[in-house]
C-alpha cells in the first residue's frame, strides 16, 4: 500500500552574509580569500564586464568553427582541433585591412579586460591574514598581504592568478546554501550552522 502521508518539506536556507570565503591556488598554495557579494549597480558592472571579457575578438575567433572536421570532438567532449589552431586559421583568412581592424579592436578589448579584472579584485577581494607574507629586504621586516590591491601589485602580470581571483568573485555572487542540520539535531531549537560564508 502506498504511503500518501504528506511530509513537511525542508526549506532552502540561503546565507545573507556580505562576504564568502573561497580558496584559490597560487604557486601550489591554497590561499583563502574573502570575496564580497555585491548588489545593484556594482553587480551590473561586474556581470557586464565579465560578459564583455569573454566575448573578446580572440574568443570569438576560437569559437568560429566552419568546416565539419573543426567541430569533431573526442569521446570526452573536447574538440579534436584546438582553439589555438582555430584562431590561427581564422586569422590567416583575414585580408590585411581586416587584420589591422581586428588588431585595433583586440587591443582595446584587452585593455578593457585588464582594467576590469584589476578593479574587481581591488574592490571585492581581501586575503585572510597569515597566508602570504612580504619581506622588506632593506629592513628585514615582513608583513601580511591582506588586500586585493596588494594581490594585483604582486600578481597583476599572472593571468592564471588574476583569472582565478575573478572566478572566485563570480562564485561569491551565487546564493550560498546553508547545509541542513542532521535529523538528530532537529529538536535543538538553535542548532549550529556551518557555512563557508563569513
Please state the domain extents for the chain.
24-175
Lowest mean pLDDT among 4-13, 89-98, 144-153: 4-13
- Pull the grid cell for residue 142: 615582513
Residue 104 scores a pLDDT above 70: yes
Q: What value does the mean pLDDT of the chain take?
A: 84
Residue 8 scores a pLDDT above 80: no
What local confidence, expressed as pLDDT, does residue 183 receive? 57
Decide if 188 contacts 181 (C-beta within 8 A). yes
* Mean pLDDT, residues 93-116 taken together: 90
Tens-place pLDDT, residues 38-48: 989 999 999 99
* Mean pLDDT, residues 176-192 taken together: 56
* Mean pLDDT, residues 78-88 taken together: 91
Decide if 178 contacts 193 (C-beta within 8 A). yes
What local confidence, expressed as pLDDT, does residue 185 receive? 47
Amino acid at each position: 500500500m502506498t504511503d500518501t502521508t504528506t511530509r513537511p518539506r525542508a526549506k532552502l536556507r540561503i546565507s545573507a552574509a556580505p562576504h564568502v570565503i573561497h580558496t584559490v591556488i597560487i604557486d601550489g598554495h591554497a590561499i583563502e580569500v574573502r570575496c564580497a557579494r555585491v548588489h545593484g549597480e556594482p553587480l551590473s558592472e561586474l556581470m557586464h564586464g565579465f560578459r564583455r571579457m569573454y566575448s573578446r575578438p580572440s574568443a570569438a575567433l576560437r569559437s568560429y568553427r566552419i568546416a565539419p572536421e573543426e567541430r569533431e570532438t573526442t569521446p570526452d567532449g573536447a574538440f579534436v582541433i584546438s582553439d589555438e589552431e582555430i584562431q590561427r586559421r581564422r586569422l590567416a583568412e583575414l585580408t590585411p585591412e581586416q587584420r589591422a581592424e581586428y588588431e585595433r579592436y583586440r587591443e582595446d578589448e584587452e585593455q578593457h579586460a585588464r582594467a576590469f579584472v584589476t578593479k574587481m579584485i581591488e574592490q571585492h577581494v581581501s586575503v585572510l591574514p597569515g597566508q602570504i607574507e612580504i619581506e622588506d629586504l632593506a629592513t628585514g621586516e615582513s608583513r601580511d598581504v591582506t588586500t586585493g590591491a596588494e594581490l594585483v601589485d604582486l600578481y597583476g602580470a599572472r593571468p592564471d592568478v588574476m583569472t582565478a581571483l575573478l572566478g572566485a568573485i563570480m562564485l561569491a555572487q551565487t546564493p550560498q546554501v546553508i547545509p541542513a542540520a542532521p535529523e538528530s539535531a532537529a529538536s535543538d531549537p538553535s542548532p549550529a550552522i556551518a557555512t563557508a560564508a563569513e
